[in-house]
Structure 1
Amino acid sequence: MKKEFEGKKLLILGGNPETASLVEIANSMGIKTIVTSGRHTDLAKSIAWKACDVDGMDVPGLIALARDEQVDGVLVGVADILVPSYCKVCNALELPCYATQKIVDVFAFKDIFKATCERYGVHGIPEYYLDAEMKREDLDNIVYPVMIKPVDNGGGVGMTVAYNERELIDGVKKAMEASNKKRFIVEKYMLCDDMGMYYTFKDGYCSASCIYDRYTTDEQPGLSRVCLGGTYPSKHLEGYFERMHSNVLRLFKEIGIKNGVLMLSGFYEDGEFYVYDTGFRLQGEAPHLLMKAIHGFDQREMLIRFALTGSEGNIDLSVDDDTRLRGKWAATLWILLKQGHIAKVEGIENLQQDKRVVANIQRLYEGDDVLPEWIGNEKQVFTRIYLVCDSKEELAECLKEYQKKIKVYDDNGNSLTLNSFDVNKALELNE
């Protein structure tokens, strides 16, 4: 790779495992990466040119750090909660920022995002009114089961499914503890098809990079349904373009999105699409890895380039991007773990030799502990495997192979892995 940014300094906010690949790409471009977070043990820090312990929510501290280091650009990692800080720091330093305060105000809080979407015909999940006072008349109107969420956190953190009033009260407490703003929402618990809609923006042009189906675990009652993987393209792709896509484009245009990458998470039920979450940054699910393998462009490089120059480069999304993946079929396979100590891992050592495997993002290793508080959110993910195949049938065969092959055991030889999703059902194949 041509190192046109050799010696430039880039401050990256957040150091979680998903941000590490962003740091690696910046390093490969000759950039001096400075990763900062409140946890000195974060993985992304271990591979950065310099690691700092300024918390991503400490805006004055971040500004001071950026000035002291004389950085040439700032970029947020894979963390929704840090997008507002990213915007404020860039504005204070007069550095390129793909987010504006208007966009941040819409996307930073689930309740504001939901209300804004409705104005453009982008429907959210049916919601029940309830505030921290939990008045009797409001509680009596709720039909169970429901999902309780903090308005300003993601990845399943602080989310609970409640099947009765006692569980609802406990869920509200959990959501409040996970919310900086001490706000939460209560929604109908959806048991239907889950989807992801992933968009790329360049200079005001918006491209639907991929529309895919997601599958979640039902082995953890009362907790957020953590993702088990996804298949691309979605079986509902045509319906989405007919019913929802134009409304989404209108929403994006009106709030002023011009550059960056954005994920919408949604449900499909009885012919309707319901959006339930968004993320205006690179995703932990990392569909950009599949996009790179199929289309050849790297969204991480685009965002890094924008942070340093204000331009995402010469890419032409109208030509280089394709929602239908140029006829390919792709998938992500997430291996989730139960609580326990990881004593032994099998089946993951030869992934890099399989041409169908375009990436493997491993979070946990032998010797690590899966903590109780990780269950029900993405911290219980052992690894994510990214697959690209020439046909649906080949993809199904590959998914089944790795579902069987990868094993994780505790000290007593007990399996720590949760059950995976039904491949035949997901891809609508006959047994």
Structure 2
Amino acid sequence: MEREFEGKKLLILGGNPETTPLVDIANNMGIKTIVTSGRSTDAAKKVAWKAYDVDGMDVDGLIALAKEEQVDGVLVGVADILVPSYCKVCEALDLPCYATQRIVDVFAFKDEFKATCEKYGVHGIPEFKLDAEMKREDLDKIKYPVMIKPVDNGGGVGMTVAYNEEELRAGVKKALDASHKKRFIVERYMNCDDVGIYYSFKDGECSASCIYDRYTTDEQPGLSRVNLGSVYPSKHIDDYFKNTHNNALRMFKEIGIQNGMLLMSGFYENGEFYMYDPGFRFQGEAPHLLMKAIHGFDQREMMIRFSLTGSQGSFNIKDIDDIRFRGKSAATFWLLLKEGTIKRIKGLYNITNDRRIIANVQRLYEGDKVEQSWIGTEKQVLTRLYMVCENKQELKDCINEYERKISVISNDGRELTLSGLNTDLI
């Protein structure tokens, strides 16, 4: 790996496990990484050159830290709620930033995202009018089941499925507690195909990098449906380009996106797409790992370079991208755990010789405890296995093999893994 940025200092906002690979990449480029978050125990801090406990929402504190360390660049990790802070810190220090306040206003808050999408013919999930006053006339118009979610949090945090008014009221409280802006939305509960659409931007050029199908667990009723796995490319790829892609491009252009990466999560029903969650930052799903294995470029390196120079490099993103993955089949296979303390993990190690597994991004280990409050969020993810295969059948065989061999035993002898991805649905 090139080390042209040897000795440069990069401040990375957020320290969750999903941010750790980004820190590793910067370290390997010879960069002095500085990770800051509100928790001293965060995983990404363990691999950083320096670590601080300045909370990512403390903009003044972040600016002071950046000045003290004389950083050469700032980058946000895998955390939606930190993108607004990232934008403000870069602006204050006159450092390269792939976001603008206009972009932040659209993508950092689910209600703003939905309103903007509708202006351009990109549909959001049908919504019910309701605010914290819980007016009777509004409650009477709600048709159950519904999903309640905070406007400014992700990964399932603060989200609840409600089947009646009592559950709705509890869900509103949970969403408000998880919202920094103290705003929530109530949407129709969608029971249909789930998709992710991932775009890459470079110097104003937009490339649709991948579209994938998400398969979620139904073992945790009443909670957000956490992903069990994602399969690339999506079986709905042609419908997306026919019905939604061009409208999305108009939206991106008019709100001024020049650089960065964007995931739009959505549902597919009867030929129509309904977008529900944007992420203008690196993703926990990490499609960039599959893109690197198949296309040969590392989006993390590109964005680290941008943070230090204002440029991702001298190439055309459309020349090296391929939304159909060059004919290959790929997947991320998520392993979810129930509440409990992990005593033993079997079948997850010694997989480096399997050519089908291109990455293993583990976030929980033996001795870690899965809290009850984590259930229904991405915090209950043990690991994500990244698979690239020559065809769909080989991919199914790979998923089934690891579904059989991986086991997680609790201190009290229970199996902690949830049922995995049913390959008959792929």
The verdict on a shared fold, with TM-score over 0.5 as the criterion, is: yes
Could you tell which deviates more after superposition, 139-148 or 417-426? 417-426
Could you tell which deviates more after superposition, 84-93 or 344-353? 344-353
For residue 361 of structure 1, give the secondary structure of its aligned residue in structure 2.
strand
Quick check: 1:177 aligned with 2:177? yes
Quick check: 1:412 aligned with 2:412? yes
Partner of 1:319: 319
The Cα of 1:361 is off from its aligned counterpart by 0.5
Could you tell which deviates more after superposition, 212-221 or 310-319? 310-319
For residue 201 of structure 1, give the secondary structure of its aligned residue in structure 2.
strand
Partner of 2:367: 367
Partner of 1:122: 122
Can you list the C-alpha shifts for 1:113-150, whole angstroms capped at 9, x where unaligned?
A: 10000000000000000000001110000000000000
Q: Distance in 2 between matches of 1:350 and 1:75?
A: 33
Quick check: 1:288 aligned with 2:288? yes
Written as runs of structure 1 = structure 2, the 5 A alignment for 1:51-90 is 51-90=51-90
The Cα of 1:421 is off from its aligned counterpart by 1.9
The Cα of 1:315 is off from its aligned counterpart by 3.0
Written as runs of structure 1 = structure 2, the 5 A alignment for 1:132-281 is 132-281=132-281
For residue 351 of structure 1, give the secondary structure of its aligned residue in structure 2.
coil
| Partner amino acid, structure 2, of 1:94 | D
The Cα of 1:422 is off from its aligned counterpart by 1.3
The Cα of 1:318 is off from its aligned counterpart by 1.6
Quick check: 1:35 aligned with 2:35? yes
The Cα of 1:316 is off from its aligned counterpart by 1.9
Could you tell which deviates more after superposition, 42-51 or 415-424? 415-424
Moved over 3 A (4+): none
Q: Distance in 1 between matches of 2:318 and 2:383?
A: 33
Q: Distance in 2 between matches of 1:353 and 1:416?
A: 26
Q: Distance in 2 between matches of 1:393 and 1:110?
A: 37
Q: Distance in 1 between matches of 2:349 and 2:38?
A: 32
Task: Give the TM-score, by structure 1 length.
Answer: 0.98
Q: Distance in 1 between matches of 2:317 and 2:197?
A: 16
The Cα of 1:317 is off from its aligned counterpart by 1.4
Q: Distance in 2 between matches of 1:41 and 1:280?
A: 26
For residue 352 of structure 1, give the secondary structure of its aligned residue in structure 2.
coil
| Partner amino acid, structure 1, of 2:291 | M
| Partner amino acid, structure 2, of 1:134 | M
Q: Distance in 2 between matches of 1:370 and 1:185?
A: 28
Q: Distance in 2 between matches of 1:2 and 1:306?
A: 15
Task: Give the TM-score, by structure 2 length.
Answer: 0.99
Q: Distance in 1 between matches of 2:158 and 2:9?
A: 35
Partner of 1:429: none
Quick check: 1:305 aligned with 2:305? yes
Partner of 1:421: 421
Q: Distance in 2 between matches of 1:357 and 1:406?
A: 14
Quick check: 1:393 aligned with 2:385? no
Q: Distance in 1 between matches of 2:407 and 2:315?
A: 40
Can you list the C-alpha shifts for 1:69-105, whole angstroms capped at 9, x where unaligned?
A: 0000000010000000000000000000000000001
What is the identity percentage for the equivalent residue pairs of Structure 1 and Structure 2?
A: 73
For residue 215 of structure 2, give the secondary structure of its aligned residue in structure 1.
strand
For residue 282 of structure 2, give the secondary structure of its aligned residue in structure 1.
coil
The Cα of 1:411 is off from its aligned counterpart by 2.1
Q: Distance in 2 between matches of 1:214 and 1:261?
A: 19
Can you list the C-alpha shifts for 1:292-313, whole angstroms capped at 9, x where unaligned?
A: 0000100100110000000001
Partner of 1:25: 25
Q: Distance in 1 between matches of 2:7 and 2:411?
A: 46
For residue 241 of structure 1, give the secondary structure of its aligned residue in structure 2.
helix
| Partner amino acid, structure 2, of 1:365 | Y
| Partner amino acid, structure 1, of 2:360 | N
Q: Distance in 1 between matches of 2:108 and 2:259?
A: 17
Give the unaligned 5+ runs of structure 1. Answer: 427-431
Q: How many residues matched?
A: 426
The Cα of 1:341 is off from its aligned counterpart by 1.0
For residue 352 of structure 2, give the secondary structure of its aligned residue in structure 1.
helix
Could you tell which deviates more after superposition, 310-319 or 82-91? 310-319
| Partner amino acid, structure 1, of 2:303 | L
Partner of 2:97: 97
Give the unaligned 5+ runs of structure 2. Answer: none
